[in-house]
Amino acid sequence: MAFERIKLRRVSGSLGAEVRGADLRGLDDRTFDEVHRALLEHEVLFFPESGLDDDAQMALAHRFGKPSVFPLLRVMGATGPTFQVIEDGPDSPNAADDWHTDVTWTAEPPKVALLRAGVVPAAGGDTMWGSMTAAYEALSPAMQDFLSSLEVVHDNESFIRAAGPKMGDTEEAKMILEQLRAEYPPVTHPLVRTHPETGRRAILYGGDFMRRVVGMSEPESDAILAFVSDHIDQSRFQCRWSWTPGDLAIWDERSTVHQAVNDHFPQRRSVHRCVVDGDRPFFDPERRAEPRAGG
Ligand SMILES: [Fe+2]
């Protein structure tokens, strides 16, 4: 189906498209449907100089579903959807410079993320995305079948380790993080997930949140996770966006990984992020979908 309201320019061969022609502050239903369809096809969309503020970004998140309460902020008392303003600078080096999918240590990780650039460094500070659909499809049928049979335990150990110092390592911070650990215990996800909307298969890669492959010895599990980690880290699966203040990226958390390139330290960079609740990842051996038409 063609796009009538929006114009797309693909930014790589695997995933990503820049979108023109959508006024994000007041999307009519038909235009939103096209944006949604483009997201499922291209996995990450870029809206240069979107003109959004935090409220408008949150309103847009609502169009995709229920904006999430970030677990740490929920434990700290937040009841409504939350924004995270992530700031890098001399005192807070970027900590998201490894491939990951957001918050896979929860039973129902987010389905969509919306990230808007605030302060942008003079050079550097790009974000990269990888198509886990393309990474899955590039595997041999034998490896596809094998990896599809596996489940992986994800946990929040690495998140908690990084959060402690950022929260000042106080007694109160320790208690909050203990509560987070108690309320969000390790969770098992399939290593290959079926996309609930498109039916396509994608590797579910949680980066440092992945602890071990269920039913395997440690050396076996380490070898499999090391293979997956190497496999997804290929330039042919990737795209990259160089930010201008106000640019908005929307990505499908169910089929992509991302990382913030850490080449701007100690320059400042800030991004405004909100995510939308997802559902429990699953693998359906019966369901197969047509490959994507475009990257
Ligand atoms: Fe992230």
Ligand 1 centroid distance, CA of 233 (Å): 16
User: Which of 42, 212, 254, 258 is flagged as catalytic?
Assistant: 258
User: Which of 97, 273, 277, 287 is flagged as catalytic?
Assistant: 273
Ligand 1 centroid distance, CA of 286 (Å): 31
> Confidence class of residue 294 from pLDDT cuts 50, 70 and 90?
low
Tens digits of residue pLDDT in 93-130: 777 789 999 999 999 999 999 999 999 999 999 999 99
User: CA-to-CA distance for 208 and 185, rounded, in angstroms?
Assistant: 15
**Which of 94-98, 211-215, 241-245, 291-295 is predicted least confidently?**
291-295
Ligand 1 centroid distance, CA of 258 (Å): 6
The residue written with tokens 């909307």 in the block is 197
Tens digits of residue pLDDT in 37-55: 999 999 999 999 999 999 9
Query: To the nearest whole number, what is the mean pLDDT of the chain?
Result: 95
Tell me the mean pLDDT in the region 227-250. Answer: 98
**Which of 86-90, 149-153, 161-165, 278-282 is predicted least confidently?**
86-90
Ligand 1 centroid distance, CA of 253 (Å): 9
User: Which of 42, 88, 100, 201 is flagged as catalytic?
Assistant: 100
The residue written with tokens 């010895």 in the block is 217
* Rg of the chain (C-alpha set): 19
User: Which of 42, 88, 102, 264 is flagged as catalytic?
Assistant: 102
Q: What percentage of residues in the chain have a pLDDT greater than 70?
A: 99
Active site residue 100: yes
Ligand 1 centroid distance, CA of 220 (Å): 28
> What's the pLDDT score for residue 258?
98
Query: Would you list the domain boundaries of the chain?
Result: 7-276
> What's the pLDDT score for residue 185?
98
User: CA-to-CA distance for 158 and 240, rounded, in angstroms?
Assistant: 25
Ligand 1 centroid distance, CA of 153 (Å): 19
Tell me the mean pLDDT in the region 203-213. Answer: 98
> Confidence class of residue 7 from pLDDT cuts 50, 70 and 90?
very high
245-256: buried (b, 16+ CB within 10 Å) or exposed (e) per residue? ebbbbbbbbbbb
Query: Does residue 295 surpass a pLDDT of 60?
Result: no
CATH topology of domain 7-276: Double-stranded beta-helix (3.60.130)
Query: Does residue 266 surpass a pLDDT of 70?
Result: yes
Tens digits of residue pLDDT in 137-193: 999 999 999 999 999 999 999 999 999 988 888 999 999 999 999 999 999 999 999
> What's the pLDDT score for residue 282?
98
Ligand 1 centroid distance, CA of 4 (Å): 32
Active site residue 273: yes
Tell me the mean pLDDT in the region 242-255. Answer: 98
Give the β-pairing of 44-47 and 17-20.
parallel
Ligand 1 centroid distance, CA of 78 (Å): 20
From 235, 231, 293, 276, select the one nearest 17 (Cα to Cα): 293
Ligand 1 centroid distance, CA of 259 (Å): 6
